């Protein structure tokens, strides 16, 4: 029966990140830089709120779009945090940003549409776009320090272009899009009447005060869709709570798609999410900032070129001097030197490797010492 399965689905492959992280787990003593997940546990106050919600029998089907109290809390939070004016009806509570992205793309895309995505890109985007029978058009940012070049962007736009998908801070690069990049996206979206999907899941994990977001440009409101998540800023990856913000007509369309996809998000998790939004988790951001400094300095010390990330918890150094592909490099690192990282090829950049530094300082120091040993051996012409 395999040949009767939807060919769009048949061509899906397991996420390369998972492939590496699963092998890493089987290697004793490995330092694991593969998974993009906070090492912290969820705050006790959030857990207590979920436990109380369970005891209060908040175990029934939620409203499809999310419980009103959480949608209102999100609207208030976004107002305070990012100075955004979305009314609570414009908030759709989703199963993490993953489902938010799927529901948003499925709501907007038609067969034959084109979606421009700056590369390197997060692994979830392309499969969903392809599933919608739309086409991923890759905007290469590697030659521009992971920024968006306006001319390169405009060159990719055709009559079929429907949406530009941006991520800032980015996974895998950790880069934030600068003013010119955002201006380019904004200008092209207006000129060619395009949607913009801004995947902002790392917006609370930013280490610079020059961070800009497209959502502050009111003239984009009717074409902008924002996906957000509680996973990273509150160490809640397993709770599966995120949300989408969009102008009311778009939010309503996404809410319908979401309702038919998943019916809703676990009620008690939504109650706990209200508690999460009250909590100041800037200490986590500050700790990632310190780890970024530690990791980046160690990479510089071993002479591995790397664009300095200004957010999220990833380093994305360039390994082109070794003249081996990123998968071979990472397999060797994991199996021989016991430091597990993700090949850049999975994100569209075969000359890079992704290091997730959401681990403790001792692991960063030891893991990067192992990487240094490997590249020293490679530089000394040890066999690959
Ligand atoms: C850029 C980006 N978007 C979306 C997600 C999905 O997050 P969630 O846990 O909310 O589904 C991730 C997770 O790693 C991510 O890095």
Confidence at 289, pLDDT banded by 50, 70, 90? very high
DSSP three-state, residue 44: helix
Measured in Å, residue 122 CA sits from the centre of ligand 1 at 8
Note the CATH number of domain 59-278.
3.40.640.10
| Ligand 1 atom having least distance to the Cα of 37 | 14
Q: What percent of the chain has pLDDT above 90?
A: 90
Confidence at 384, pLDDT banded by 50, 70, 90? very low
- Mean pLDDT of the 238-249 span: 98
Report domain extents, the chain: 2-42+282-375, 59-278
Q: How many C-beta atoms surround the C-beta of residue 177 within 10 A? A: 25
Q: How many C-beta atoms surround the C-beta of residue 383 within 10 A? A: 5
Q: Which of 15, 117, 122, 176 to mutate to test the pocket of ligand 1 (most atoms within 8 A of CB)?
A: 122
Q: Which residues lie with the beta carbon below 6 Å from any ligand 1 atom?
A: 36, 96-98, 122, 167, 171, 199, 201, 229, 231, 237, 242
- pTM given for the model: 0.95
Structure tokens at 205: 């994990």
Q: Which of 97, 146, 245, 356 to mutate to test the pocket of ligand 1 (most atoms within 8 A of CB)?
A: 97
Cα 94 to chain centroid distance, Å, stands at 15
In contact, 161 and 117? CB cutoff 8 Å: no
In contact, 16 and 123? CB cutoff 8 Å: yes
Measured in Å, residue 97 CA sits from the centre of ligand 1 at 6
Residue ranges in 141-281 assigned as alpha helix (H): 150-156, 179-191, 248-262, 267-278
What gap in Å lies between CA 257 and CA 277, rounded to an integer? 25
- Mean pLDDT of the 364-377 span: 97
Whether 2-42+282-375 and 59-278 share one fold: the answer is no
Per-residue pLDDT tens digits for 121-172: 999 999 999 999 999 999 999 999 999 999 999 999 999 999 999 999 999 9
Q: Which of 171, 228, 276, 358 to mutate to test the pocket of ligand 1 (most atoms within 8 A of CB)?
A: 171
**CATH architecture of the region 2-42+282-375:** Alpha-Beta Complex (3.90)
| Ligand 1 atom having least distance to the Cα of 202 | 1
Measured in Å, residue 62 CA sits from the centre of ligand 1 at 23
pLDDT at 8 over 90: no
Structure tokens at 340: 């597990």
Tell me which residue of 370, 350, 377, 356 sits closest to 29, measured CA to CA.
Answer: 370
Structure tokens at 67: 């419980």
């Amino acid at each position: 029966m395999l040949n009767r399965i939807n060919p769009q689905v048949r061509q899906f492959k397991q996420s390369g990140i998972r492939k590496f992280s699963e092998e890493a787990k089987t290697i004793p003593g490995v330092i694991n830089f593969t998974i993009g997940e906070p090492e912290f546990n969820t705050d006790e106050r959030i857990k207590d709120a979920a436990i109380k919600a369970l005891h209060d029998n908040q175990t029934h089907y939620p409203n499809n779009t999310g419980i009103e109290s959480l949608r209102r809390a999100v609207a208030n939070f976004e107002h305070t945090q990012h100075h955004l004016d979305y009314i609570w009806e414009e908030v759709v509570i989703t199963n993490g940003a993953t489902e938010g992205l799927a529901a948003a793309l499925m709501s907007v895309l038609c067969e034959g549409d084109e979606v421009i995505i700056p590369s390197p890109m997060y692994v979830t985007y392309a499969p969903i776009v392809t599933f919608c029978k739309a086409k991923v058009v890759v905007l290469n940012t590697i030659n521009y320090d992971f920024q968006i070049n306006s001319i390169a962007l405009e060159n990719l736009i055709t009559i079929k272009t429907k949406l530009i998908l941006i991520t800032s801070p980015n996974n895998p690069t950790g880069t934030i899009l600068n003013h010119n990049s955002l201006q380019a996206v904004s200008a092209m979206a207006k000129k060619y009447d395009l949607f913009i999907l801004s995947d902002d899941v790392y917006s609370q994990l930013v280490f610079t005060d020059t961070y800009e977001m497209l959502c502050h440009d009111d003239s984009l409101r009717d074409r902008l869709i924002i996906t957000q998540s509680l996973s990273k800023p509150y160490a809640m990856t397993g709770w599966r709570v995120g949300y989408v913000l969009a102008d009311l007509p778009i939010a309503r369309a996404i809410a319908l798609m979401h309702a038919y996809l998943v019916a809703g998000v676990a009620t008690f998790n939504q109650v706990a999410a209200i508690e999460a939004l009250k909590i100041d988790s800037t200490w986590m951001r500050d700790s990632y900032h310190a780890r970024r400094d530690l990791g980046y300095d160690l990479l510089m010390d071993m002479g591995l070129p790397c664009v300095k990330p200004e957010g999220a918890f990833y380093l994305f150094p360039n390994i082109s001097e070794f003249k081996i592909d990123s998968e071979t490099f990472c397999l060797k690192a994991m199996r021989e030197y016991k430091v597990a990282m993700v090949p850049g090829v999975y994100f569209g950049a075969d000359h890079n490797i992704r290091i997730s530094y959401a681990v403790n300082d001792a692991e960063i120091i030891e893991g990067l010492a192992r990487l240094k040993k490997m590249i020293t051996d490679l530089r000394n012409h040890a066999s690959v």
